[in-house]
Amino acid sequence: MPSLDLILQGSEWLARGRASEALHCAEEALRQEPHDADALFLLGAAHYRDGDLAAAEARLKQAIQANGKVAVFHSTLGNVYQDRGALPEAVAAYRRAIRLKPDFAEAHNDLGTAFFAQGDPVRAAESYRRATELRPDHAIAYANLGAVYRKLGMPREARHALQRELVLRLRNFFRLKKRHRSLAELAHEELRLGNPGLALRIGRRALEQDANNPRVMALLAAALRQEGSLEEAIGCAQRAVDLRPADARSREQLGSLLLKAGSAQSALPHLEECVRLQPRSPQALLALAEAHMALGDREQASQLAQRSSALEPKDATLWVRLGELLSKQGLAAQAELAFRRAIELDPAAPAAWIRLAGLLRLGGRLQEAKTCAEQAVALDDESSAALIALGLALREQGRTSAAVARFEQALRLEPQRAQALQQIGEILHYENKIEEAERRFRDGLKSRPDSIALLVDLAMVLGDQMRYAEAFACLEKALAHDPRAAPALAAKGILQDLTGREAEAESLLRSALQAAPQDADIGHSLASCRLRHWHFDDGWKGFELRRHKENFIGRYRKFPFAEWQGEPLDGKTILVYPEQGLGDEIMYASCIPELVARARHVAVECDHKLGALFARSFPGCTVTARLRTMANDWVNHLEPRPDYQVPMGSLPGHFRRRVEDFPQHGGYLAPDGRKVAAWKRRLDAIGPGPKVGLSWQGGVGHTGRARRSLTLEQLLPLLRLDGVHFVSLQYTDVDGEIRDLAARHGITVHHWQGAIDVYDETAALVCALDRVVTVCTALVHLTGALGRPAIVMVPFGSDWRYGAQGERMLWYPSVRLIRQGAIGDWPPVIESVRGLLQG
């Protein structure tokens, strides 16, 4: 007898309570296929029914080792643990089953029993109640719920539950008198138990008997979807629709599968027909809303989502989906209500807590996000998704060590979890631990060699080390796996731009955006590419997408003022707030005088380092210098109260739309005159000859430090110029490098740490110097904004702020750009700078 027949026969014996016959069938099936997970499970379940808990545990663990993604395997192991009195292990097993199949009623019921045994009747009641919601015909769950209600002193609720149990027992008794179940019914039962693999085997056997059975086709589609065979699932679902075109469920299944495959346009007519057939189905309306959202029709998606929620579905998972859709639409308040409604319906399900934590984190409510994530972890401490949610909240709070610990914990539970590994790698990347980040990404690829996410992350780390050939090889591998993978297309476009292939870069970024039109990171990258080539009209428009990026600092700034969209400002007050780095703050501040000319009053928030400089430079403005925190209540004390708010990075979109809009200024920042005089006296004491400020390192690992930085050894042709005195303006720790230079070559680079630590002193020193020579760093912006002469050594494939070509930097007339002609080729640049200094 074939192994499948033996498994089916053994399951039938087991259902009749004849464990010895079931054992015989399982053993015979295992002789044929020794590693068959379903046969191992049958053997374990038979041992459990026979009372041999040790043998049952051993065989069930073998089944899980062979296939750990079957919910019923874990829940049955939980029953063994519970019968042994190992309650914590039982709870963990039931939670694993529920994590695999959240609507698995039996696992919820058994989890309730374990909670009750642990002396926690409240949590037991929640689990039993959830089991009855998922399976209204679950007599045992109603009996258990009635018993718990009695324990909790709730007699009326207990009576209702027990009455329901009695009705169901009678109904189920007569159902047991029915004929043997069909293969289709058996396949459906295996799907319900969370075993799509066995459901697929049974379904294919059923198809041999009836090739035109639409129910079997739909079951096969469901099983194939769970097994990850999306294309084959779509084929079966299409066949089910062909056989029953007026069946709403078949239409919804096919539409959802097509939507999951990225074919929203093909999904649309099926989901529309489903809604026509079932106009009051919340699930059908939501699926159609998701299709419209995927096609970029936010308005229609919103209307359908509202219709779905108005029907008040009782399914918590549907509210979670609704919350996700609303979140994608930017409707954070409505999304939060949806997630909280899901929690009301099923407070023990981690999924809604995890989604709510993510939403709150993106809204800057970090402590609330952390609390929600902690609740998810408390509900299931083996949930890698919950641990990642907690890690993300901790990371946003700046607690990177604690975040990494949670991500590492998630990886131990689920080594294949790419997101946890990505987060660890990104933290290392941002902390300038480039080599360690590379190692972690490579480690991840050992177990997941085709992971597009990991290949892209590794490519970007390699790119930051200027190892472009290796980086492109990673991306080619990713694109060979999926030619339309938007992250890989975008990463390749970014690297093409850095290596001087602008046309290819823009084409790739457009292809990536076409594949993922809602991806703000890709849209922002394309905008940066356009701005680099001085295409300001669409460049600034796309640049606004930065505000939707997850790492956008300004997303936490939730001020109670209207967003300024270019409205007239006569008689109005506007708040300008920072959002990016120090150099960007200075660069965008060039627009403040134009804003002052339009508004009654301008309030400016800036980095605490820039407070004195901005207050002096913009005397008509209210300047608030502060450390960036999540607290925004300080704006309540502003007088006059602002009518509008605008992030600094959005100002150029209003005031720098053409090359002609960039003013030929002589500096818009004003140094402290007394400090400038003091620095001039100090510089005069060095001796005669020009005094040149020098900065030779820029950025950190993830902002292209390797590409845009030099060493003092590389700069020796400059440093050996007779009569020129060099003064360090380098903000990183360079004392050792300066000492080594003096010891090896007898060359002095003057360095006063006090001028570096206080930015107002830095500004004064820059104004006291004859000129500045620097790599691409915040010093460029400071020097240019002060109107002082600067020579900037620009790497090949420069940042958009420096443009794509030429010696002119639009933002600063006093700045001259000397560009690399090839990647990493600094000697010609240094020679050009030397010539300028000599001249």
Distances (CA, A) of 124 to 128, 211, 661, 776: 6, 45, 68, 62
Let me know whether 562 and 684 are in one domain: no
Q: Distance between CA atoms of 831 and 133, rounded to whole angstroms?
A: 77
Tokens, residue 388? 């990642």
* Segment 206-216, tens digit of pLDDT: 989 888 999 99
Cβ pair 812, 822 in contact under 8 A: no
Let me know whether 689 and 633 are in one domain: no
More confident residue, 371 or 799: 371
Q: Distance between CA atoms of 830 and 492, rounded to whole angstroms?
A: 30
**Enclosing domain of residue 140:** 3-192
Predicted TM-score (pTM) of this structure = 0.73
Asked whether residue 382 is domain-assigned, the answer is: yes
Let me know whether 642 and 740 are in one domain: no
Share of the chain above pLDDT 90, in %: 67
Q: Distance between CA atoms of 397 and 366, rounded to whole angstroms?
A: 7
Residue position matching structure tokens 């952390």 = 370
Cβ pair 624, 605 in contact under 8 A: yes
Greatest mean pLDDT among 104-108, 308-312, 696-700 lies in 104-108
pLDDT at 556 over 60: no
CATH of the domain at 387: 1.25.40.10
Total of domains in the chain: 4
pLDDT at 553 over 80: no
SS3 readout for 27-64 = HHHHHHCCCCHHHHHHHHHHHHHCCCHHHHHHHHHHHH
CATH of the domain at 608: 3.40.50
Greatest mean pLDDT among 302-311, 435-444, 473-482 lies in 473-482
Q: Could you tell me how far CA 546 lies from the centroid of its own chain?
A: 15
Among 765, 770, 763, 768, CA closest to 751: 765
Boundary-marking domain end, from 414, 440, 471: 414
Cβ pair 443, 416 in contact under 8 A: no
Let me know whether 596 and 733 are in one domain: no
Please compute, for residue 616, the number of CA atoms within 13 A of its CA located in the half-sphere on the CB side: 13
Let me know whether 679 and 657 are in one domain: no
Cβ pair 476, 772 in contact under 8 A: no
Pick the range with the lowest mean pLDDT from 148-157, 384-393, 454-463: 148-157
* DSSP letter, residue 821: S
Three-state secondary-structure class, residue 732: coil
Mean pLDDT of 805-820: 96
Cβ pair 658, 810 in contact under 8 A: no
* Segment 678-687, tens digit of pLDDT: 999 999 999 9
Mark residue 699 as left, alpha or beta (left: phi above 0; alpha: psi -120 to 50; beta: remaining): left
**Each residue of 87-118: b (16+ CB within 10 Å) or e?**
bebbbbbbbbbbbbbbbbbbbbbbbbbbbbee
Count of Cβ atoms closer than 10 Å to residue 740 Cβ: 14
Instruction: Determine the straight-line distance between the first and last CA of the chain, rounded to whole angstroms.
Output: 95
Rounded mean pLDDT of the chain?
91
Let me know whether 602 and 732 are in one domain: no
Q: Distance between CA atoms of 43 and 56, rounded to whole angstroms?
A: 7
Asked whether residue 209 is domain-assigned, the answer is: no
Among 325, 279, 278, CA closest to 300: 325
Cβ pair 39, 61 in contact under 8 A: no
Supply the pLDDT for residue 331.
Answer: 85
Asked whether residue 120 is domain-assigned, the answer is: yes
Boundary-marking domain end, from 379, 414, 449: 414
Count of Cβ atoms closer than 10 Å to residue 706 Cβ: 15
pLDDT at 557 over 70: no
Q: How confident is the model at residue 527 (pLDDT cuts 50, 70, 90)?
A: very high
* Segment 723-767, tens digit of pLDDT: 999 999 998 888 999 999 999 999 999 999 989 999 999 999 999
Asked whether residue 64 is domain-assigned, the answer is: yes
* Segment 231-249, tens digit of pLDDT: 999 999 999 999 999 999 9
For the beta sheet containing 749-750, the strands, ordered from the edge strand earlier in sequence to the opposite edge, are 749-750, 725-728, 691-695, 771-775, 790-794, 815-819
Let me know whether 581 and 720 are in one domain: no
Asked whether residue 226 is domain-assigned, the answer is: no
* Segment 578-588, tens digit of pLDDT: 988 899 999 99
Among 636, 572, 561, 560, CA closest to 600: 572
Let me know whether 126 and 161 are in one domain: yes
For the beta sheet containing 562-563, the strands, ordered from the edge strand earlier in sequence to the opposite edge, are 562-563, 644-647, 573-577, 601-607, 622-626
> Does a cis peptide bond (omega within 30 degrees of 0) precede residue 415?
no
Distances (CA, A) of 748 to 37, 728, 833: 73, 10, 19
CATH of the domain at 830: 3.40.50.2000
Let me know whether 657 and 682 are in one domain: no
Please compute, for residue 433, the number of CA atoms within 13 A of its CA located in the half-sphere on the CB side: 11
Q: Distance between CA atoms of 137 and 167, rounded to whole angstroms?
A: 9
Boundary-marking domain end, from 356, 380, 414: 414
Distances (CA, A) of 411 to 28, 436, 627, 686: 38, 17, 34, 58
pLDDT at 165 over 70: no
**In sequence order, what DSSP letters do the residues of 381-447 get, joined into one string?**
TT-HHHHHHHHHHHHHTT-HHHHHHHHHHHHHH-TT-HHHHHHHHHHHHHTT-HHHHHHHHHHHHHH
Residues 6+ apart with CB under 8 A from 115: 91, 121, 123, 124, 127
Three-state secondary-structure class, residue 68: coil
Mean pLDDT of 789-798: 94
Supply the pLDDT for residue 176.
Answer: 47
Asked whether residue 233 is domain-assigned, the answer is: no
* DSSP letter, residue 347: T
Mean pLDDT of 56-61: 95
Distances (CA, A) of 823 to 411, 434, 455, 501: 37, 20, 23, 12
Note every long-range contact of 444-448, with CB atoms under 8 Å and residues 24 or more positions apart, other chains counting.
444/418, 447/415, 447/416, 448/416, 448/418
* DSSP letter, residue 553: G
**In sequence order, what DSSP letters do the residues of 633-674 get, joined into one string?**
GGGGG-SSPPSEEEEGGGSHHHH-SSGGGS---S-S----HH
Asked whether residue 496 is domain-assigned, the answer is: no
Let me know whether 73 and 18 are in one domain: yes
Supply the pLDDT for residue 180.
Answer: 64
Asked whether residue 108 is domain-assigned, the answer is: yes
Residues 6+ apart with CB under 8 A from 552: 546, 579
Let me know whether 753 and 607 are in one domain: no
pLDDT at 228 over 90: no
Let me know whether 678 and 816 are in one domain: yes
Please compute, for residue 715, the number of CA atoms within 13 A of its CA located in the half-sphere on the CB side: 23
Mark residue 433 as left, alpha or beta (left: phi above 0; alpha: psi -120 to 50; beta: remaining): beta
* Segment 392-428, tens digit of pLDDT: 999 988 899 999 999 999 989 888 787 888 889 888 8
